Amino acid sequence: MTEPRRSPLALLGRFVPGVRAVTEQIPRFAAAWAEETERALGAPGPLLAVLGDSTAQGIGAGSHLTGWAGQLRERLAVHHGTEWGVANWSRSGARVADVVAEQLPALRGAGRRPDLVVCAVGANDVFWGLTTGAARRAFAELLPGLPAPAVVATVPEGGVAGRARRLNAELRGLAAAHGVAVAEVARTIRPGRGTLASDGFHPSTRGYADWTAAFAAALALPDPEVRG
């Protein structure tokens, strides 16, 4: 596998303490998820497969387990009454084409079909790329290749909102055509309230709770606080 793409944010982290604290999580969270993935693939019980970028890694949260992937696992465990394993092939800095070229083949080669696939990617294409043409073409290849059932997140629309909205419109159409559920992250996340990490870019643990709510809504999971 190729090395994770280095984003301009990682370069900025050399000089800005708040950014540095978050970017220092990247190798630690990647190593922790690699261990989780190996353990999950060898364990019984349902399996959640995670694809995507740094948000799928949980960068910005208090730990890798308090990003959306870890929070979603807890929601699934409560709803189904059983523990879920997480095989997380996401990589910080990934773009949609990286998921197609590297992460999807890793999932297919794992020797085990997941019970649910969840993908969050596209922000790097929107924020650091010159256009989203490559992202649109990669999504057209990615979505039909996801094992069912699968959920894909819309891209947050802060910053370059117009570009994100256009990509999300295309993403929704592709998802509908290929039977992939859409988690409306772009419509669910709320600014403020301590929802951003110290780099001002990635979500905090509280921010990832909004992402988790979007995935739970796409999966029709009830809010655990109002169950029975």
Give 153 or 201, the one with higher predicted confidence: 153
Which domains are delineated in the chain? 8-219 (3.40.50.1110)
Per-residue pLDDT, 193: 76
Is the whole model's pTM more than 0.85, yes or no? yes
- Percent of the chain beyond pLDDT 90? 80
pLDDT 10s digits, 8-33: 555 544 445 579 899 999 999 999 99
| 116-148 pLDDT tens trace | 999 999 999 999 887 899 999 999 999 999 999
Q: pLDDT (tens digit, 9 = 90+) per residue, 86-108?
A: 999 999 999 999 999 999 999 99
Banded pLDDT at 224 (limits 50, 70, 90)? confident
Which H or E element spans position 178? Answer: helix 161-178
Q: Which residues contact 19 (CB under 8 A, 6 or more apart)?
A: 9, 12, 13, 198, 199, 200, 201
φ and ψ at residue 152, rounded to 5 degrees: -125, 140
Contacts of 18 (CB under 8 A, 6+ apart): 198, 199, 200
Instruction: Say what percent of the chain tops pLDDT 70.
Output: 90
pLDDT tens readout for residues 158-206:
777 899 999 999 999 999 999 999 999 999 998 777 899 999 889 999 9
Of the pLDDT bands very low, low, confident and very high (cuts 50, 70, 90), residue 114 is very high
